[in-house]
Structure 1
């Protein structure tokens, strides 16, 4: 049985602006990762690395589901370390006139148990909280 990481943040920005930040590779570069080959289309594969010159941790994803302004679901893998994959879902829900509830679900995280501490549930939870709470949220609210 899977035990996903689930995080929810309320962002003071309308859903269409949050969606653009999640799916526009130019905007993503400002708050997330530089994903040069990202295209928001079902079946598209994308690649990126941790920030920095050393090209640490090759990440690879494939768009599994896309519902504009509502949901983006993709696989999350480290092909240089494992053939196993997890899934990441970004779900958006409008709240009031100018707010959006951002829900992130990272499922099958236990697939990475054998890769070490940098790939642990705690490490991913801390990482996602930083990405959403300290990067995405301020990026959108200060635009």
Structure 2
């Protein structure tokens, strides 16, 4: 059962739709702003990947399954962890508005993760997604847009 509201982060980018799409779907680019530990990624429905992230003495083996892809518009994937119960999905949606690209990221819990793990608290998720999109991805896109 899910007891959390979705986490929604919106950000405008002054670059092309193509550059934002590639940043969120190209393995080489994702390693630069998202998770450097990602070992494989393809924006194809049904594609599965797994990679480990270590925080203090805990291991989080990310298990992602791509559920939906509409090129240059939307990608949705299931997000679970090998070591913990719980299930979620993340949706990246892109819209062109006035020569800018609006990215809307929605992280939604389907089944709660353990409440005693700090990284699974809602505040941690909100903080993490805001950092990833509004700081890390924004800096990455500014860098690649100036090349």
Give TM-score scaled by structure 1 length.
0.88
Q: CA deviation at 1:85?
A: 1.0
Contact preservation (8 Å) 1:58, 1:79:
yes
1:12 is matched with which residue?
A: 14
When residues 51 and 14 of structure 1 are mapped into structure 2, their CA distance, relative to the original with a 3 A threshold, is farther
Query: Structure 2 stretches of 5 or more lacking a match?
Result: none
1:24 is matched with which residue?
A: 26
1:116 is matched with which residue?
A: 117
Rounded Cα–Cα distance in structure 2 between residues aligned with 1:76 and 1:115 = 19
Query: Structure 1 stretches of 5 or more lacking a match?
Result: none
Moved more, 19-28 or 115-124: 115-124
Correspondence list, 1:1-143, <5 A: 3-34=5-36, 35-50=38-53, 56-82=59-85, 84-97=86-99, 99-108=100-109, 111-143=112-144
Rounded Cα–Cα distance in structure 2 between residues aligned with 1:10 and 1:51 = 31
- Number of residue pairs matched by the alignment: 140
- Local SS of the residue matching 2:20: helix
Superposed CA RMSD:
2.1
Give TM-score scaled by structure 2 length.
0.86
Rounded Cα–Cα distance in structure 2 between residues aligned with 1:138 and 1:42 = 28
Rounded Cα–Cα distance in structure 1 between residues aligned with 2:114 and 2:59 = 19
- Local SS of the residue matching 1:108: strand
Q: CA deviation at 1:5?
A: 0.7
Contact preservation (8 Å) 1:109, 1:121:
no
Q: CA deviation at 1:37?
A: 1.8
Q: Which runs of 4 or more aligned residues in structure 1 lie more than 4 Å from their structure 2 counterparts after TM superposition?
A: none
